[in-house]
Amino acid sequence: MNSKSNHTSANASKKVDFPSFTAQQCDDLFAAVLVHDEIHADAVLPDSIHLDYTQQQLKQCYALCRQLWQQGVERDSLINLVNKLLSDQTLTAEQQLVFRDIRAKMKHLRFAYQTLDHRHKYPTKFHWLTAALGYLQDAFRNKQTNAIIRFAMRSRLFLTHPFYHFVVKEIDNFKPSMPENFQHHINNEINFIRTKLTEDEITSREFHEMRKVISRLVALYDNLKILYPMQYHNQISKYLGTINGLMGSLHDELIAKKFNKTQNYYSDTFKIPADIESRLTALTEKFLKQ
């Protein structure tokens, strides 16, 4: 067998190693992703939150994210959208929805690496691309022409064939976390929020870092409620989605202030609003301190 055949065979065996999910499961996951910031004022948490999942369960959560990305992110479509922004700095309403959907699937997969991979970190090049698209989205939402051009050029570079080849290669290099390491990682995330809640005021950047923790937890429970449907997972998902929605709305305001130069994103501080602070505090109290 020649080297090319060996390479194909190796890739095939790697793909077979991941479970396959139904179209309905992928559709249900994406529907959950699209509403993961809906606000439900009556959302409540279960009495306690455990982190007792097997490595196989963690691997299944990742595989579902991966399949959603594989079936829903087309490089050519994304290049066309970025080129449109580069040429005239605008998208139609339909194109904005396509852009949003593609980036949502990429973000969901990126969160899976931070939470479920044994390294608990984003793949570097995949992160660069996803982040560039996020900055681009913020720029055209806030009608910042120069920023649109800058981040469209950066995104276009990351979508070139040689670079994107390495993005996919990074994605193929997933290795599931051991359950005890997963538990340690989630508790570190919760401890980060606990620490920030003790501070009188925080910067917009620190608030964004807190929100990213919540977004990663939302993504985790989106997977769990699809794969292992039960009231327990649904309760946590609904509560986290409410926090995510409240924090997201405030962060949109902070980004607008950044672009308008009315508040420094990195140095000016503010007090976390009471409705967000109380929900974050309640969430941290459901986890045992470690």
Give the CA angle between residues 225, 228, 229 to the nearest 5°: 55
pTM of the predicted structure, to 2 decimals = 0.85
Is pLDDT above 60 for 282?
yes
What is the SS3 assignment for 203?
strand
- Give the Cα-Cα-Cα angle 116, 70, 21 (nearest 5 degrees): 70
> For position 289, what pLDDT does the model report?
55
Q: Which fold has domain 21-284?
A: CHAD domain (1.40.20)
Q: In the predicted model, is pLDDT for residue 290 greater than 70? A: no
**Cα 42 from chain centroid (whole Å):** 25
Give residues with Cβ within 8 angstroms of 216, minimum separation 6: 111, 114, 115, 189
Distances (CA, A) of 96 to 59, 102, 137: 32, 10, 9
- Asked if pLDDT for residue 245 goes beyond 90, the answer is yes
Domain ranges of the chain: 21-284
Phi-psi group of 187: left, alpha or beta (phi > 0 → left; psi -120 to 50 → alpha; rest → beta): alpha
Per-residue pLDDT tens over the stretch 122-155: 999 999 999 999 999 999 988 899 999 999 999 9
